[in-house]
Copies of this chain bind each other. A is one copy, B any other.
Amino acid sequence: MIEAAASRLAGHVRETPLLSAPGLDRIAGRRVLVKAECLQHTGSFKARGGWAAVSARGAGARGVIALSSGNHAQGVARAAAAFGLPAVIVMPTDAPGPKIDGTRALGAELVLYDRATEDREALAAGIAAARGLTLIRPFDDPQVIAGQGTVGLELAAQAAAAGVTDADVLIPCGGGGLTAGVALALEARAPGLRVRPVEPEGFDDTARSLAAGRIVANDARAGSLCDAILTPSPGRITFPVMARLCGPGLVVTEGEALRAMAAAFTQLRIVLEPGGAVALAAALFRAEAVTGDAVIVIGSGGNVAAETFRMALGQDGEAR
């Protein structure tokens, strides 16, 4: 399915570069390779899963609907526009400005809801039923997982070209679509690369689920700058894949994510959002929990409000 998704995506998503900088290697104490999915169309890997899912639905769909804080929204909206399908996106009112603007600019219809008081699942189900729209889930959808898995196909080839065949692969993890998809791709193409999910403190449902051997949920639903990866618990489809293939999860603080954003700014000249920077944060600031001479990191997205980025640049004395 991942290879089939890659065929459908060819020419419609970018092969993102695997970047490095001596300054990052020095901080981490080992070689660091960063897969810059923030340079993907729509600013995150979600353009892959969105395209894979919408293209798999074929011409029969009357339109699509998605629940998202903004990255999945843009991935689905972009694909729907390309296939001439209407797209409705159900998005929290506190989503970052650029994500709301970006989704609207792609031609999608936005329905905003209050994260604290409204049931987004019921809201979306109601609209889907009334208008005959197909729901594209953000992670618990085989085609979405296959689309995100194309990151892993690229990574296997790029890591081999860089001479890295044995390393931890740190991945920002929300519901686990990217993590599970990449793990499946690497199982086939680069079995020496070990996938490990990374989450922000207080939202480490996947790390705790992997440790417990069963799905457990977060207490909190909101309250982190890492909006892209705040899911209540790993998915029913993604968790068994992660339980079989992924190493122990890593957890970083919000402050570490902001410092990783500053390091990516100075050393790689790329823009990462907080949720997209947690894996780099683990590589740089939790080095003792990582194994191997080299570490691969996915920088999964770069849709961040200017105000948040300005705050990140104020965090790091090195980023003058």
Residues of A within 8 A of B (CB): 14, 17, 19, 21-23, 26, 36, 38-39, 41, 43, 96-98, 101-102, 105-106, 262, 265-266, 268-272, 302-303, 305-307, 309-310, 313-314, 316, 318-320
Contacts and interface: CB of A to CB of B under 8 A. Distances in A.
Nearest to A44: B269
A318 B23 CA distance: 32
Contacts of A38: 269
A306 B262 contact: yes
A117 to B, nearest CB: 24
A59 to B, nearest CB: 24
B39 A101 contact: no
A265 B98 CA distance: 11
A-B pairs with lowest CB-CB distance, top 3: A269-B302, A97-B320, A269-B271
Contacts of A314: 306, 310
A26 B17 CA distance: 26
A131 to B, nearest CB: 25
Contacts of A23: 102, 105
A258 B318 CA distance: 22
A38 B265 CA distance: 11
Given A23-B105, A271-B271, A310-B310, A266 B316 contact: no
Contact of A270 (B271, B306, B310, B316): B271
Contact of A17 (B14, B265, B313): B14
Contacts of A266: 98, 306
Given A22-B106, A266-B306, A269-B272, 6 more contacts: A39-B269, A98-B266, A98-B319, A265-B309, A306-B316, A306-B320
A226 to B, nearest CB: 16
Contacts of A105: 22-23, 26
A43 to B, nearest CB: 5
Nearest to A102: B23
A310 B39 CA distance: 21
Nearest to A265: B271
A98 B320 contact: yes
A38 B267 CA distance: 11
5 contacts: A39-B268, A262-B306, A269-B303, A306-B316, A307-B320
A47 to B, nearest CB: 12
A14 B39 CA distance: 15
A26 B107 CA distance: 13
Nearest to A41: B21
A266 B265 CA distance: 14
A309 B265 CA distance: 10
Contact of A19 (B39, B96, B306): B39
A36 to B, nearest CB: 8
A318 B101 contact: yes
A39 B270 contact: yes
A285 to B, nearest CB: 18
